[in-house]
Amino acid sequence: MRVLVTGGGGFLGRAIALRLLARGDEVVTLGRTDQPALRAAGVEVFRGDIGDHAVAHAAVVGSQAVVHTAAKVASWGRAADFHRTNVVGTQNLIAACRAHKIARLVYTSSSSVAYNGTGDVEGIDESHPYAARFDAHYPRTKALAEQMVLTANAPPLATVALRPHLVWGPGDTQLLPRAIAAARAGRLRLPAGPPKLVDCTYIDNAVDAHVLALDRLAPDAACAGKAYFISQGAPLPMAELIARVLAAAGAPAVDKTISPGTLYLAGCLAEAAYAALRIRDREPPITRFVARQMTTAHWFDIGAARRDLGYQPRVSIEEGLRRLTASRSSLGPAT
């Protein structure tokens, strides 16, 4: 079938596009920039801003399904920018799917939609409510977009939302490069205090979840109109996970620690300084959202994804780390 993958130039979107192409699907991607490598592989690259109604409608023409990974991902920035891409862009895509009779829409959400940032989140499932407050525009707008996608589930359009948690692996252009850069600059600190368990998702497992959802989605499917947490299903202490990933990526070891309260205060002060200076086009060295993520437990029950999607994290953390070590040069810049 012909599948539109929005955000095809991103880490996850690119991996999904290449997986679909490899199995024989016709793939078109939508993004702001050209993607020569995808084009060379045989992917049709459509350039444009998903926040533009006309662009979203033009991009879906001829497709039978859409995988919507495009998003503005950051812990700092202008509220209007997050709203345009994450909320208006999703609204545009839903309208385009309906207008052009697209049968399936798989939405890449975030586990942070259920994370209040005020304490540990341990083993929750999809019955857990949306967060009542957010420390950043990203999770707030992702929660709004997810609710729109799930509400849109009605014949002939079937929808599903996936919530992959901390996606990493070779080719990462965000999470790993930032951590590596901070470690090399001597700016990274490990959280002090009792160990906090966190889970993550190796890139191939995140791709598996999206392809499974795409193939199973139908108006009467068990997954239609639902959201699913996606992860390794194997939480580790935050400090251990960071140390193992940095070692596999060839980054220096980090032995300095910082208390949760001090780290959160640093995030508050950094955000206040950036706001006073009206700096919105780059992130502070630490934000409240990142501080909370670093110092609280966050892992999830993936039983529903196993049951309804047939999802299994095929690549273990150990195997993922071995692949990361073998592919160190594939880690992109922290931009």
What are the tens digits of pLDDT across the range 103-161? 999 999 999 999 876 789 999 999 999 999 999 999 999 999 999 999 999 999 999 99
Is residue 93 within 8 Å of 105, Cβ to Cβ? yes
Classify strands 197-198 and 236-237 as parallel, antiparallel or unpaired.
antiparallel
> Under a CB-based contact definition with an 8 Å cutoff, are residues 32 and 49 in contact?
yes
Q: Which of 149, 119, 151 is nearest to 132 (CA)?
A: 119
Helix/strand/coil for 295:
helix
What are 294-308's pLDDT values in tens digits? 999 999 999 999 999
Indicate the Cα dihedral angle 275, 276, 281, 285, nearest 10°. Answer: -70
Backbone φ and ψ of 105, nearest 5°: -135, 115
Q: pLDDT tens, 16-29?
A: 999 999 999 999 99
Q: At residue 335, does pLDDT exceed 60?
A: no
Instruction: Return d(Cα 140, Cα 130) in angstroms, integer.
Output: 10
277-297 tens-digit pLDDT: 999 999 999 999 999 999 999
The answer to whether 288 touches 268, Cβ cutoff 8 Å, is yes
The residues near 5 (Cβ < 8 Å, ≥ 6 apart) are 13, 16, 17, 20, 27, 28, 29, 30, 66, 67, 69
Measured CA to CA, the distance from residue 292 to residue 270 in angstroms comes to 14
CATH architecture of 2-330: 3-Layer(aba) Sandwich (3.40)
Is 264 among the catalytic positions? no
Q: Measured between alpha carbons, how far is 202 from 316 in angstroms, rounded to an integer?
A: 8
Choose the catalytic residue: 107, 115, 130, 138.
138
Give 84's DSSP letter.
Answer: I
pTM of the predicted model as reported, rounded to 2 decimal places: 0.95
